[in-house]
Amino acid sequence: MNHLLLRVFLNPYADIFTDDPKNNVSEYIYEKLDKNLHLQTNHPLGILKTVIEEYFSMRFKHKPFTFYDDLTPIVSTQANFDSVLVPPGHVSRSSNDTYYVDDNTVLRCHTSAHQLELLKSGARRFLVTGDVYRRDSIDATHFPVFHQMEGVCVFEPQDWEARQLSSLELANSELKITLEGLVRHLFGEIQMRWVDAYFPFTEPSYELEIFFNGEWLEVLGCGVMQKSILDEASLGNHRAWAFGLGLERLAMILFDIPDIRLFWSTDLRFSKQFKAGMFRAGGVGMQKFSSYSKFPPCYKDVSFWLAKDSTRFTENTLCELVRDVAGNLIEEVKLIDEFYNPKLDQTSNCFRFTYRSMERSLTDDEVNQLQEQVRSRLVDELDVTLR
């Protein structure tokens, strides 16, 4: 049996390898399905998950939250989109943004996919942690597989009546207090800001940003749950808040981890720096990650004309292709030039690829080979003409 077949055979998710024309799950993504980094107790994501669960246990001692961390990432389009009111035709439903197994099945693109089923099953206060999958750009804070933690808290009429608030006021203020408390528990004093946002499943909606490494990093989205979702769960006279946070982003800030690819590293120089129980409230006196020497980057540019009559090329598809060829050796993909030539009626793009390993120096030969593969697959699969 060859290696691919053996790996497919051993992976409990083997049945997502279908020949359905809609299937766009690459082998690189497929191999991430059984990794469950958030369940590894000595992994930074596992450590952070535990710390957040402990915060919720403390804060909601008398009305405890239930924690879910092993719900399958393979969900119906109904759960991933319809159940949270994502309208038909919304961009997030496109194969450009989402990994499809077949027409009715996707790799969840957010843990919100579980909100409605859990509410229907009777859960009222819960956290869901899991791996989520998105076709996206490539840089230090974006990865096609990452981990989210979803929080939902349902209130009953007596909760807001007792406090002489409207249901909306109660949900809104409880949401912000809970999340600001979480951020202070994790980081102590840190610069954060609320930004108005839009999600189909909440109103009002916000994003929380934290100042890190000289820029504002978006770490979570949240809001007051749309009434129609509660109606659907037979909770019409209730109110709820919900949030979804990115565990990698928070872990990067907490431990000072410079690149999101490191979470997938099996290098001991990375993994031995993390131990369950290492967290210190507010980060005070906590050991941060000490980067082992950074290896040199290697830059490669490619310029091409987009085909006039083809829609195959998109930036996400290019990133997906590069990821498939170079795996974790690609650090960033960036559009550095774009122009339209009216005479030819054609558009040219120039992308810069940054190749760098987190573990070792790359040889020229190795990078040239990767780049050659990318160039030829670009032509074969995305209908472009190299310049």
On the CB side of 228, CA atoms within 13 Å amount to 9
Question: The tokens of 163 are what?
Answer: 């406090």
Q: What are the φ and ψ backbone dihedral angles of 97, each rounded to 5 degrees?
A: -105, -25
Q: Are 13 and 34 in contact (CB under 8 A)?
A: yes
The answer to whether 233 contacts ligand FA5 (rule: CB under 6 A) is: no
CB count in 10 Å sphere of residue 191: 10
199 binds ligand FA5 (CB under 6 A): yes
Q: Does 248 bind ligand FA5 (CB under 6 A)?
A: yes
CB 351 within 8 A of CB 333: yes
Smallest distance, Å, CB 320 to ligand FA5? 12
Part of the chain binding ligand FA5 (CB under 6 A), chosen from 100-108, 134-142, 322-330, 368-376: 134-142
For residue 109, give every residue at least 6 positions away whose Cβ sits within 8 Å of its Cβ, in sequence order, or none: 80, 92, 97, 98, 99, 132, 133, 134
The correct pick among 219, 254, 330, 378 for binding ligand FA5 (CB under 6 A) is 219
How far apart, in whole angstroms, are the C-alpha atoms of residue 321 and residue 324? 5
Q: Does 143 bind ligand FA5 (CB under 6 A)?
A: yes
218 binds ligand FA5 (CB under 6 A): yes
Q: Considering only the stretches 7-15, 220-228, 284-292, 323-331, report the one whose residues sit in contact with ligand FA5 under the rule CB under 6 A.
A: 220-228
Residue 52 within binding range of ligand FA5, rule CB under 6 A: no
Does position 44 bind ligand FA5 by CB under 6 A? no
Distance CA 225, CA 83 (A): 12
* The only residue of 8, 29, 154, 242 in contact with ligand FA5, by rule CB under 6 A: 242
**Shortest CB 307 distance to ligand FA5, Å:** 28
Contact residues for ligand FA5, defined by CB under 6 A: 110, 112, 134, 136, 142-143, 146, 148, 150, 199, 202, 205, 218-223, 242-244, 246, 248-249
